[in-house]
Amino acid sequence: MSAIAPSLARPTAPTGLMMLRHRIIKTFSSSGPYLMLLGIFTWLFFYWLFCEALSLPRFEKLPGPITVLSDWLSRDPAQGMSIFVREYYVHIFVSCRRILIAFLLATAVGVPLGLFMGWSKVVKDYTFPILETLRPIPIMAWVPLAILMFSGYETPVIFLATLASLFATTLNTMLGVQSIDESYFRAAGCLGSSRWEIFRHVVVPGALPFIFTGLQISMGVAWFSLVAAEMVSGDFGLGYLILSSYVNSVTVPMVIGMLTLGFVGWFSSALVRLLGDRLMQWRVRALATQGR
C-alpha cells in the first residue's frame, strides 16, 4: 500500500536547483547534445580537411580552422584581431547597439501597426497596399536613398536595419491577428466586452505567438541588412570588419567577424525566444502537455 501510494499522489514539479539538475540530466540522457557535438566536429573536420590538410583548389586562400582559432584566441594575433584586442569588442558593441535600436524601433512601430491592420479593415485598406509595394524592394536598393537622407555613419545603417525588421514584424503581427479564431471574438462579445477590451484581451494575446515568430524573423533580417549596410557605409561594426579585412587582404579577421556574427545573431534570437516563452506561459504549458 505505502509503496504504491506515493506514485499515485499528484507529483509536484521540482523547483530551483533540483529543476536545473533535472533538466541537465534530461538533456544529457537524450541523444541531442551528442549529435550536436558530432555535427560540429564533422563540419570542422571537413573545413580543416579542405583548407589546411589538402589545400584543395578554391579553398587554398581561405584560412583554415586551426589558423583562425589560434589567431582568435591569441594574445598577439598575427593578423590583428582576437579576443584580447579591444577593437574586437568595439566592433561587436557598435553592431549590437545598432541592432538594439533598430529592433526596438521596428517593434515599437511594427507591432501596433500590425495589430491595428489585422483588427481594423479600414487601417488595413489604408496601409497594406503601400506596405506590400515597399516590402519586395531589396534592402540593398535602399542604400543610396538612406545615404542621401541621413548624414553620418550611424543613422543610415540603423535606418536600413529598422526598415527590414519593420516589414517582418508588421506582416507577422497582422497575420497573427487574422489567425485568431472568430469564436474568441464572439465569446468576448457575448461576455460583454467593449471593442477596446476585445483588443486588449483577445487581439493582443491571441496574436502573440505570431508576433514572436515575426520578431525572430525580424531579428534575423535586422542583422542581415545591418551587415550589408555596414559594408557600404560604416566606421565600425562587424560588417565593416569583414569588408575592411577583405580590402586589406587579412582573411583571418574576416572569418572571425563572420563567426562572431553567427554567435551574436544566434544569441539575440535566443533572447527573443526566451522573452516570448516568458510572456506565453499558457502556450509553453499547453505544448508541454503534448510532450513538446
Partner 1 sequence: MQNPPAARSGAISIRHLTKIYDPEGVNVMAVDDCSMEIGGGEVCMIVGPSGCGKTTLLNAIAGFHSITGGEILLDGELLCGPGKPIAKQAADRIVVFQNGALFPWMTLADNVAYGPIVQRRMPKKQALERARVMLAEAGLGSVAEKFPGEVSSGMARRAEIVRALINDPKVLLLDEPYRAMDALTKSIMHESLLEMYDRTKVTMYFITHDLEEAIFLGDRVYVMTTRPCRVKKVLHVNLPRPRDYHVLSSEQFRLLVEETSEAVHEEAIKAFRAGERELA
Residues touching partner 1, count (CB under 8 A): 26
Q: Look up residue 16 and give its three cell numbers.
A: 530551483
Residue 178 binds partner 1 (CB under 8 A): no
Cβ 178 vs Cβ 123: under 8 Å: no
**DSSP string over 64-119:** PHHHHHHHHT-SS-TTS-STT-HHHHHHHHHHHHHHHHHHHHHHHHHHHHHHHHHH
What is the grid cell recorded at 137?
Answer: 524592394
Q: Residue 132 and residue 126: Cα distance in Å, rounded?
A: 12
Q: Is-contact 80 71, C-beta < 8 A?
A: no
- Please identify, using beta-carbon distances, which residue of 131 and 180 lies nearer to partner 1: 180
Identify which range of 53-61, 65-73, 230-238, 275-283 contacts partner 1 by CB under 8 A: 275-283
Residues within window 38-67 making contact with partner 1, judged by CB under 8 A: none
Q: Between 189 and 220, name the residue whose CB sits nearer to partner 1.
A: 189
User: Which listed range, 111-119, 184-192, 210-218, 228-236, lies at the site for partner 1 (CB under 8 A)?
Assistant: 184-192
Task: Please tell me whether residue 194 binds partner 1 under the rule CB under 8 A.
Answer: yes
Using the contact rule CB under 8 A, the part of the chain among 43-51, 140-148, 170-178, 192-200 near partner 1 is: 192-200
SS3 13: coil
CB nearer partner 1, residue 75 or residue 196: 196
| 172 in Cβ contact with 212 (< 8 Å) | no
191 touches partner 1 by CB under 8 A: yes
* Closest-CA residue to 136 (of 163, 117, 159): 163
Q: Which is nearer to partner 1, 40 or 187 (CB)?
A: 187
User: Which residue, 31 or 289, has its beta carbon nearer to partner 1?
Assistant: 289
Question: DSSP character for 202?
Answer: I
- Residue 197 touching partner 1 (CB under 8 A): yes
Task: State the CB neighbour count (10 A cutoff) for residue 36.
Answer: 10
Binder among 166, 202, 242, 250 for partner 1 (CB under 8 A): 202
Positions touching partner 1 (CB under 8 A) are 181, 183-184, 186-194, 197, 201-202, 205-206, 208, 280-283, 285-287, 289
